[in-house]
Structure formats: C-alpha cells, structure tokens
Amino acid sequence: MTVENLVILLEEPSAKKMLDVVVPKILPPGISHRCIPFQGKSDLEKNISLKIRAWQKPNSVFLVMRDQDSGDCKLVKKKLLEECENSRRPKKDYLVRIACHELESFYLGDLDAVRKAGFNINLSKKIKNPDEKSNAAEMLSKITGGEYQKIQGSAAIAPFLKLDGSNQSTSFNMLISGIRKIVGLP
C-alpha cells in the first residue's frame, strides 16, 4: 500500500498544536495528515478501535500518541496496542508512541526551541533525560517564569523543534522516527 494519509489520534489539543506544525516538515508531498484530539486519556482509549475501524479514507495509517503520566510506560503502550488490534486493521497500519512522561518533556529536550519561541529561560544548561522528569509541564512553567501555557506554548515552540535526533527527549526522537517509519520513509 502506498500511504496517502496519516491519522494521528491524541489525548489533548496541545499535542495537536505541536504535531500540526512538526508533521508537515516530515511528510513528503502526496501524504496528508490529520490530528484528532480527544478529551483526555480515557476518551482516547475508549474510542481508538472505533475511530480506526470506521475510518473510510483508503491508504491511511494511524499513529496513537498519549502521555505516560504516572503510568507504567510498557503497560500503557500495551493497552493502546490492544485497542488498535481491536480495530481489525493490519498491524502495519498503526503505531503507538508514548510521551514519557508528558508532552512538555519534548520541549525540555530542546531548550533552544523554547528560547526561539520567545520564552525567557532562567537555565543555562541542557536538561539531560527530560523523559525521566515526571513533572515536565511544571518544570517548563518554572524555568519560563510562569510564561508557558500548554496550548499556546505548544504552538509557539513547535516551529523551532529540531527533527534531526538531537532532542534530549528519547520519546520525541522515537515519535519522529515512528512517523517516518509508518509512512514508509527511511
């Protein structure tokens, strides 16, 4: 199958703001994307299989992305994969990625992007292993002097995120490589 559509199922609007900017930078011409945010984790989880099963556009693949939050990453991913399997689509048509611990870990992993977005950061060094920070949103708010707000912050930072694997967030780099993989890019 030649992929023509990437459908991204998300738990929240702030992830959509970020991905609507990042994904077009990755996708080649001829592949469109659509981000569908849900109203939190439980809404996402209960609707995954139905949304994927009911999708009518041919040559579509699916990416499900959710924050780990305080859950066990492997168990969260397993549950989401089970929901995808319930859609009765082939395994090659879907992929699950977890933001460890939360979306803001991606931004902590690329503080240059945060600075370029206009946030004053009172931190001079990189944050190593931002995926291990269970309070990434709180940390980001703190180091920006309370300026960071989820939706507006995601929209502002997204254009400046580096997609070359240099982000300190492994889960962000896995997301980017996963998008490339599911649409058939090297």
- Let me know: does 108 contact 140? Beta carbons within 8 Å: yes
Q: How many domains does the chain have?
A: 1
DSSP annotation of 135 reads T
Looking at 88-149, list the stretches that DSSP marks H as alpha helix, in order from N- to C-terminal side.
104-108, 111-116, 136-143
Is the pTM above the cut of 0.85? yes
Give the full edge-to-edge strand order of the sheet including 60-67. Answer: 32-37, 5-10, 60-67, 94-99
- Let me know: does 178 contact 63? Beta carbons within 8 Å: yes
Question: What is the pLDDT, as a whole number, of residue 172?
Answer: 98
- Let me know: does 15 contact 37? Beta carbons within 8 Å: yes
Q: pLDDT tens string for the chain (186 positions)? A: 899 999 999 999 999 999 999 999 999 999 999 999 999 999 999 999 999 999 999 999 999 999 999 889 999 999 999 999 999 999 999 999 999 999 999 999 999 999 999 999 977 788 999 999 999 999 999 999 999 999 999 999 999 999 999 999 999 999 999 999 999 999
CA distance 158 to 156: 6
Domain limits at 17?
1-186
- Let me know: does 114 contact 142? Beta carbons within 8 Å: no
Residue 185, SS3? coil
Residue 124: Cβ within 10 Å count: 6
DSSP annotation of 28 reads P
Cis peptide before 101 (omega within 30 of 0): yes
